[in-house]
Structures are given as C-alpha cells and as structure tokens.
C-alpha cells in the first residue's frame, strides 16, 4: 500500500513538473500567416512568397527558454508572380525542389531581449546544408479571437537576411554576373491559435 | 526535257524551297527573338532549351503543311501527283509524332526535369503536354492502324475530327506559353500560320460537305 502511495505521488509530481516546463502549444494559422522574401535583380527587388508552409509553435513569454519553433516550407510553393521564373527557381539551378522539397528551421533556444523582442537560435536546413542561425523576432502578445472567444490568438513577426549561396541555392553564376543578389530578405508574419 | 515537264520540276523545286524557308524561319525565330528564359541558361542547357523551342515552332509549320497536303487543291494536284502528296503527308506525320515528344523532353531537360506543380497558372504547359500526347496518339493510330485493328472508315472519321482539334490546341499552347510572341514579327507569323490552317480546314470541310450534297442529289435523281 505504502509503495502504491509513493508511486502515485511520484507520477503526480512528474506530470505537474512536465506541464510546468512545457510551453503553451500554438497552431499556426496559415490563412493569416506569410513567408515572403525579396532579392535584388540587377537594380530592382523581386518579391515572392511560399504559400505552403507549416509549423509547430510552443511559446510562453513567461518561459521563453521552454519554447520551440519547428517550421517547414514546401519549396514547390514558391511564387514570384512569374510562372517561368518560379519553375527556374525550383530547378537544380536554385532550390532543386525535386531532390530537396522542403526547407526547415528547428529551434534550439529562445531568449528574451527586452520588451516584445526575442531571439530564436536554431538550425536552418536548405537543400543539403544546415547552418545555425540566430533570428530575432517580435512577439506581439496574445488576444482573444474576436470570432471565437474560446480561442486565443498570438502574433509573431520576424525579418532577417539569409545568404542563399551559403546554402547552395545557386552556384553564384548569376551573382557574379550581377543579375541575382545573394542576400535574401525574409519576412515572416505568423498568427497562431491556441486554447484559452 | 519537255518544257511542260521542266515547269513541273521548277514548281516542285519552288514548293520545296518555300517549305525549307518556312521551316528555317520557324527554327530561327526563337533564336532571333529570344525569350527571357533563355537569358538564364548557358552552354548545353541553353542549346537544349533553344532547340526545344525551335522544334516546337517547326512542328507548327509542319502541321500547317500537313493540312495543305491533304487540302485536295486542284492547283497543287495538277503539278504534284496525289500519291506523292499522300506519301509526304504520311512522312510528315511521322516526323511530327517524333518531334512533339522531343520538344517537351528538351525543354524539361534544360530545366533539370523540374516538373510543373499542379497549379492553374501552368495551364499552357499542361495543355502542351496533353497536345503532345494527343498528337502522338493520332500519329500512332495512323501508323499502326491495321495492327491496332482499326477499320479504315473509323480511323478516317477519327482522324478528321482529331487533327483540327490537335492543330488548334498546338496554336493555343504556343501563343500562351512563349514570350517570343511579344515581338511583332513572330506574332504576325503565328497569326498567318494559324489563319492559313483554319482557312485550309474550312476549305476542306466546305468541299467535303458540297461533295456529299452533290452525291446525295445524284442519288435522288437516280
């Protein structure tokens, strides 16, 4: 009997500490989130987006260290408003979407930098290259959904620059020609939904 | 050589010259009027993309030529024997059947065989793919008609329905898929070719219809 009570206390303590350590889980609202990018073409900037992406978000501003971001973007969904260019971007000249259909970011740590500002550190994998990146982001806070009071909405925004050549997206031929830049300016805006 | 025979050969030479000129112009159009997709290709990839585009143009010209060969033009048949015209039609058809398959292969090869995702904006490319298979099927049905156990009448009926559809689809695909037609000269060339094909088809249809009506009238009189 004593043994059972000890086991019971142990299990309750374990469950309690585990739920305390886990950050709140949010479901990415793809209809109100965007993954955009801009890259220079000689003088102008060509803007595009990826329409197919998903993410697991665990984030609690009170305990950012326990948070986790895991984003995947389907490379095939690239859209710059020009069908032929998009197919060229999918080709081995750039993303080689046939071989590497997704790009992924998995966080390893989140730190609070003051106010609404945070930095997420994690591994960015594009094609067959993985690099550790520090990405600053803004957490706008949470609010009850105006459409469903039982749902909470959280907002995240980030802007960062990525060197496409460091990830093997392009051989550098077009960069050397002065046609396509190497720095890709990425903007991600996310709305995520969670239970109240 | 009799003057009449000499004139016949002169005419055949002139027709051959015009055909070579039309095919040459078609093959050179994508080279002379480069679309922007060619700017980003180099070496072998550029050669393949350019060749793929040129072949597409050549196929369009050959298709118009095919309609001309079977238009039963009295003017043409007086100077070139019907047997030769039909033999050319068959040879040309086989060539078209091969080229419509080589055309997308070269273009996809140049882009590392990265296939188009199923999105509505790629409809001209998908239409092209469908047209290539459709044309290849028409050619295969004609070439292997007896082996496929297709009766002559059934084949003829099918051939007369399918070929105008295939030609129209090919022109629609070309018009919407290529940036080359942003230039005045290729655009005019395409309109002339499409107009010629439509006029020839209309001529064939009217003549066939009139022939049937005449045959029916004779039948009634008897």
Model confidence band, residue A15 (pLDDT cutoffs 50, 70, 90): very low
Q: Which helix (H) or strand (E) holds A155?
A: strand A151-163
Other CB atoms within a 10 A radius of the CB of residue B25 amount to 16
Q: Check whether A9 has a pLDDT greater than 90.
A: no
Q: Check whether A79 has a pLDDT greater than 80.
A: yes
Closest chain A CA to residue B178: A84
The residue of B52, B113, B114, B176 whose CB has the most chain A CBs within 10 angstroms, and thus the best one to mutate to test that interface, is: B114
Over the stretch B28-43, which tens digit does the pLDDT of each residue have? 998 888 888 888 888 8
What's the Cα-to-Cα distance from A164 to each of A47, A170, B83, B123, B136, rounded to whole Å? Answer: 15, 7, 62, 30, 42
Model confidence band, residue A139 (pLDDT cutoffs 50, 70, 90): very high
Domain ranges of chain A: 23-195
Is B112 in contact with A98 (Cβ distance < 8 A)? yes
Under 8 Å between Cβ of B140 and B96 = no
The residue of A86, A102, A175, A178 whose CB has the most chain B CBs within 10 angstroms, and thus the best one to mutate to test that interface, is: A86
Q: Identify the pLDDT of residue A174.
A: 93
What is the sign of the dihedral through the CA atoms of A88, A92, A97 and A98?
Answer: positive
Residues 46-75 of A with CB under 8 A from B: none
- Least CB–CB distance from B112: residue in A84, A91, A174: A91
Is B42 in contact with A173 (Cβ distance < 8 A)? yes
Rg (CA), chain B: 20
pLDDT > 90 in chain A, percent: 84
Residues forming a β-bridge with A129 = A126
Distance of residue B147 Cα from the nearest chain A Cα, in angstroms: 39
Residue A181 backbone dihedrals phi, psi, to 5 degrees: -65, 170
Closest chain B CA to residue A174: B40
Is A90 in contact with B37 (Cβ distance < 8 A)? no
Residues 166-185 of B with CB under 8 A from A: 179
| Residue pLDDT tens, chain B, 222 long | 565 677 778 888 888 899 999 999 999 998 888 888 888 888 899 999 999 999 999 999 999 999 999 988 888 888 888 899 999 999 999 999 999 999 999 999 998 888 888 889 999 999 999 999 999 999 999 999 999 999 999 999 999 999 999 999 999 999 999 888 888 999 999 999 999 999 999 999 898 888 777 777 666 555
Chain B residues with CB under 8 Å of A93 CB are 40, 111-112
Q: Identify the pLDDT of residue A17.
A: 44
Q: Check whether A16 has a pLDDT greater than 60.
A: no
Which CB contacts under 8 angstroms, 24+ apart, belong to A103-109?
A103/A72, A103/A73, A103/A75, A103/A127, A104/A70, A104/A71, A104/A72, A104/A73, A105/A69, A105/A70, A105/A71, A105/A133, A105/A135, A106/A69, A106/A70, A106/A71, A107/A67, A107/A68, A107/A69, A107/A70, A108/A132, A109/A65
Under 8 Å between Cβ of A136 and A121 = no
Residue B163 CA to chain centroid, in angstroms?
9
Residues 35-54 of B with CB under 8 A from A: 36-37, 40, 42
Is A93 in contact with B40 (Cβ distance < 8 A)? yes
Model confidence band, residue A49 (pLDDT cutoffs 50, 70, 90): very high
Under 8 Å between Cβ of B150 and B159 = no
Is A91 in contact with B115 (Cβ distance < 8 A)? no
Model confidence band, residue A64 (pLDDT cutoffs 50, 70, 90): very high
Is A91 in contact with B36 (Cβ distance < 8 A)? no
Q: Identify the pLDDT of residue A7.
A: 61
**B113 interface with A at CB cutoff 8 Å:** yes
CATH of B22-214, picked from 3.20.20.370, 3.20.20.140, 1.20.120.1770, 1.10.10.10, is 1.20.120.1770
Over the stretch B78-87, which tens digit does the pLDDT of each residue have? 888 889 999 9
Is B114 in contact with A84 (Cβ distance < 8 A)? no
Model confidence band, residue A20 (pLDDT cutoffs 50, 70, 90): very low
Is A173 in contact with B116 (Cβ distance < 8 A)? no
Is B40 in contact with A174 (Cβ distance < 8 A)? yes
Closest chain A CA to residue B42: A173
Is B114 in contact with A87 (Cβ distance < 8 A)? yes
Strands of A3-150 (E only): list them: 25-28, 34-41, 44-50, 53-58, 68-74, 78-79, 102-114, 117-126, 129-144
Give the fold, CATH level 3, of A23-195: Lipocalin (2.40.128)
Mean pLDDT estimate for chain A: 90
| DSSP code at position A22 | S
Number of residues assigned to chain A: 196
**A88 interface with B at CB cutoff 8 Å:** yes
Q: What ipTM, to 2 d.p.?
A: 0.74
CA separation for the pair A66, B61 (Å, rounded): 67
Q: Identify the pLDDT of residue B215.
A: 75
């Amino acid at each position: 009997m004593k043994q059972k009570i000890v086991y019971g206390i142990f299990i309750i303590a374990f469950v309690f500490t585990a739920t305390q350590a886990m950050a709140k889980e949010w479901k990415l609202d793809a209809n109100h989130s965007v993954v955009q990018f801009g890259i220079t073409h000689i003088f102008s900037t060509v803007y595009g987006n990826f329409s197919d992406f998903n993410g697991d978000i665990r984030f609690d501003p009170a305990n950012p260290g326990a948070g986790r971001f895991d984003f995947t973007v389907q490379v095939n969904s690239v859209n710059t408003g020009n069908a032929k260019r998009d197919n060229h971007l999918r080709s081995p000249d750039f993303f080689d979407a046939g071989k590497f259909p997704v790009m992924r970011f998995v966080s390893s740590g989140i730190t609070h930098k003051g106010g609404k500002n945070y930095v997420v550190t994690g591994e960015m994998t594009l094609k067959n290259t993985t690099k550790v990146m520090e990405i600053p982001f803004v957490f706008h806070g949470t609010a009850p959904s105006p459409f469903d009071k039982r749902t909470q909405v959280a907002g995240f925004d980030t802007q960062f620059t990525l060197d496409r050549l460091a990830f093997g997206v392009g051989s550098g031929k077009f960069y050397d020609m002065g046609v396509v830049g190497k720095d890709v300016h990425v903007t991600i805006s996310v709305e995520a939904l969670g239970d109240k | 050589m009799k003057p009449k025979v000499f004139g016949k050969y002169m005419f055949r030479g002139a027709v051959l010259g015009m055909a070579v000129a039309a095919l040459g112009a078609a093959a050179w159009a994508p080279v002379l009027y480069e679309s922007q997709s060619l700017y980003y290709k180099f070496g072998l990839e550029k050669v393949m993309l350019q060749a793929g585009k040129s072949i597409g143009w050549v196929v369009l010209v050959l298709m118009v030529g095919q309609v001309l060969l079977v238009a039963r033009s009295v003017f043409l048949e007086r100077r070139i024997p019907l047997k030769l015209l039909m033999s050319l039609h068959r040879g040309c058809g086989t060539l078209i059947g091969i080229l419509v398959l080589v055309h997308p292969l070269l273009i996809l090869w140049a882009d590392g065989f990265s296939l188009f995702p199923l999105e509505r904006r790629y409809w001209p490319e998908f239409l092209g793919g469908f047209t290539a298979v459709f044309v290849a099927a028409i050619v295969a049905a004609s070439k292997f008609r007896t082996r496929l156990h297709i009766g002559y009448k059934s084949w003829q009926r099918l051939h007369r329905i399918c070929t105008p559809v295939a030609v129209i689809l090919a022109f629609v695909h070309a018009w919407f898929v290529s940036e080359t037609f942003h230039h005045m000269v290729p655009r005019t060339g395409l309109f002339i070719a499409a107009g010629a094909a439509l006029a020839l088809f209309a001529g064939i249809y009217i003549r066939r219809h009139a022939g049937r009506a005449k045959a029916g009238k004779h039948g009634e009189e008897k």
